[in-house]
Structure 1
């Protein structure tokens, strides 16, 4: 029967091949992402922000147009021509050239300008809210990419540790101090670690692709040098009621109230004034004409439009009240999540330090033959799990800060919009 230790050289060669493959397949990342603040300035020129800028420009143009008076009307009228008797031909013609102007009484222009101003203010707050959304989404994508990069680095280091532990186990197998089963287990763990490294690489590449797209850049981002996960979030600077999204709804309610006044003014009669010059050919004389016209509101007083505008005010007020309640609750939840995430980061860092020291001591004991491979494997798994937990805790803290900053109407991590 062949000796159970004859497979040891083969196992050693397999582990060496795994380590070499990890070194050769690891790509060189040469396009690091700039700092979060620089990337945010770039992202604010992306299509999403450009759309909000265009909407604001349109609202400003409508405000300008709302303040313009209506154009006067020019009328030319010729009377007493091409008739019979003394009105044959054009010798007795009376030609009148007049200008008429809508006087826009009852506060019509002021109401129209008020609505346009409120709509412009709402568009401005919507633009600010859109920029905050971009900032929050970019912070999440940046943190996700950095976390994916750290997980890849951890998977790479885990593979190296697994291979080193497998080699140490093989040495004991060759010395006859461990059964061949331990060497086979070490080879299996190294293969699993290699598969985990491939998965971590795919997740890292996907995360950086998402970050590149969100930043609106042409050059693919492939690494993070300036950490966002390690940055401590600033203290909260406000409450949800001050968020631009809520202020936009308040401006929309004001615009709805202005539409009520505008519809009420539309229900009053139109008043037009006219001034003209009349030429009387028969008398070879010229005279001025003046007039005033008033629309009689006998059938249409715009009551339906007024009722509709009043209903829109009630709807806008309901939306505003609901948004304030939701924003307040969301702000409290986000603040609690960020505080909890900060506590988890502290606990995770302590766990990483303890697990790393436990692995170091276990490795020393294993090499000295006082501890088994199972204990070494357990210590290594505990250290890797602790470090993964620390990465997840930092990612949760960064996401909670991005969410809280949006609700407070500020950019994440003290950045400027």
Structure 2
């Protein structure tokens, strides 16, 4: 008995212990409010991402690349995705664990024992469960596929953060400078027209139209300022920092100034390769394989497990050995219900995979078709702006030569600003469609946006059914 107690104490000593980690909303909120883009830990993360030390910190301008790295450091969705991946990895360990044997000790006292016999009977029994029909293998395979799916979902969460920064940064592109110029020119034009109306050289409807235009631009400017503030708040949320962290940062929009030629877009072969490496497609495929393993497990459960129970007893001075064998008899059911459920889950997983793949193909085709038209519209708007610049220079020369009045020159300048806004709107559509194509392919286009290590993490290798998580 003493040896048995020592064995139990040794086994309990190897058990894991629980350490509480309470969350304090006030502390978490204060920590979020204290986040800043010049944090030393962010600098260390950026240096690890690029693989070298930075010569200066913080950077002079926060462009798309640097803001994306900041989001990869701060954004809470990535912590959630990593935790889910770790949970699935732990599930692999759980699924592969073998059932522990059961130890039983018995003690009996015989009140009618004779004087020459011991009234005590001591018994010791061990129950050894044995899984049959490969249940542990199927269970482990299912857990392994779910761990792969969780890892691919982590890659997907990584891309969603990258995409969120791009979308929010593009939405925050400043247009207020052009609108202010337009407002100032329209105010001058309206003032000149008021003077002409007062002198009797202009009709009331013409002056009214000018005032309506001025009022519309005033409202547009106010709405633009509101939208700008909201977009900066969305950008801060996409990065994972409070709005005040961006107030003193110099945001660069240079990455949106260049238009990627249609000829530079991925070829059909590259598109097919991207479709094979999209993390959401790979996750759906891994989840389908997990459903197959789950069905195999339920089929295997038709065959009962075996339990072997060797025992030892000391009965009134006599030593006795015993050997027991037990199993569940499949008489009332043969696991038909769980098998049917597993088959339905497999059909559902197959449908999810097909829907995900079809959606991805449609996203690529839609973005490619839209990008070509958006680029053509941008080139038209760019050509119109060049023509208007020439017309403005001619109007300025004519005004200086005394061949035209100030109103004609102001009107030409106003048309130039309008053409610049039209070009900017066309450029925004180009970048918006390019972002949709990036989302469809799950990879940046048009230059090195991220360090190579980060791009490799975003784009996982194609699914391998024998891959270990």
State the alpha-carbon separation in 2 of the partners of residues 225 and 369 from structure 1. Answer: 42
1:399 aligns with 2:439: no
Matches within 5 A, 1:48-127: 48-79=77-108, 81-84=109-112, 86=114, 91-127=118-154
Q: After the TM superposition, which of the residue ranges 405-414 and 370-379 deviates more from structure 2? A: 370-379
Contact 2:156-2:280 within 8 A present in 1 as well: yes
Q: 1:167 to 1:362 in 2, by over 3 A?
A: farther
> Of the candidates 310, 315, 340, which is equivalent to residue 280 of structure 1?
315
1:347 aligns with 2:372: no
Question: How many angstroms does 1:195 deviate by?
Answer: 4.5
Q: 1:33 to 1:141 in 2, by over 3 A?
A: farther
State the alpha-carbon separation in 2 of the partners of residues 322 and 47 from structure 1. Answer: 28
Map of 2:230 onto structure 1: 206
Question: How many angstroms does 1:202 deviate by?
Answer: 2.2
1:251 aligns with 2:299: no
Q: 1:187 to 1:269 in 2, by over 3 A?
A: closer
Q: 1:125 to 1:368 in 2, by over 3 A?
A: same
Q: After the TM superposition, which of the residue ranges 286-295 and 365-374 deviates more from structure 2? A: 365-374
State the alpha-carbon separation in 2 of the partners of residues 392 and 75 from structure 1. Answer: 79
1:231 aligns with 2:258: yes
Question: How many angstroms does 1:375 deviate by?
Answer: 4.9
> Of the candidates 332, 354, 363, which is equivalent to residue 330 of structure 1?
363
Q: After the TM superposition, which of the residue ranges 92-101 and 205-214 deviates more from structure 2? A: 92-101
1:294 aligns with 2:327: yes
Q: 1:410 to 1:179 in 2, by over 3 A?
A: closer
State the secondary structure of the residue aligned to 1:224.
coil
Contact 2:172-2:228 within 8 A present in 1 as well: yes
Question: How many angstroms does 1:380 deviate by?
Answer: 3.8
Question: How many angstroms does 1:183 deviate by?
Answer: 8.9
1:155 aligns with 2:188: no
Contact 2:186-2:414 within 8 A present in 1 as well: no
Map of 1:310 onto structure 2: 343
Contact 1:33-1:221 within 8 A present in 2 as well: no
Question: How many angstroms does 1:254 deviate by?
Answer: 0.6
RMSD, aligned α-carbons: 3.3
Map of 1:261 onto structure 2: 296
TM-score (norm 1): 0.79
Q: After the TM superposition, which of the residue ranges 336-345 and 51-60 deviates more from structure 2? A: 336-345
Contact 1:241-1:327 within 8 A present in 2 as well: no
Question: How many angstroms does 1:85 deviate by?
Answer: 5.3
Q: 1:363 to 1:256 in 2, by over 3 A?
A: same
| Deviation readout 1:250-295 (Å, 9 max, x if unpaired) | 1111111011111112221111122333223333xx4543333222
Equivalences, count = 379
Map of 1:131 onto structure 2: 158
Question: How many angstroms does 1:374 deviate by?
Answer: 6.6
Q: 1:131 to 1:412 in 2, by over 3 A?
A: farther
Contact 1:143-1:228 within 8 A present in 2 as well: no
State the alpha-carbon separation in 1 of the partners of residues 215 and 139 from structure 2. Answer: 72
| Deviation readout 1:85-124 (Å, 9 max, x if unpaired) | 54x9982433221221211121111111111111111111
State the alpha-carbon separation in 2 of the partners of residues 359 and 279 from structure 1. Answer: 112
TM-score (norm 2): 0.71
Q: After the TM superposition, which of the residue ranges 118-127 and 233-242 deviates more from structure 2? A: 233-242
State the secondary structure of the residue aligned to 1:399.
helix
| Deviation readout 1:64-98 (Å, 9 max, x if unpaired) | 2111111211111335x335354x99824332212
State the alpha-carbon separation in 1 of the partners of residues 223 and 400 from structure 2. Answer: 31
Contact 2:313-2:320 within 8 A present in 1 as well: yes
Map of 1:221 onto structure 2: 246
Q: 1:220 to 1:358 in 2, by over 3 A?
A: farther
State the secondary structure of the residue aligned to 2:254.
coil
Contact 2:135-2:297 within 8 A present in 1 as well: yes
| Deviation readout 1:383-406 (Å, 9 max, x if unpaired) | 233212221222222222222222
Gap runs ≥5 in structure 2: 1-58, 455-469
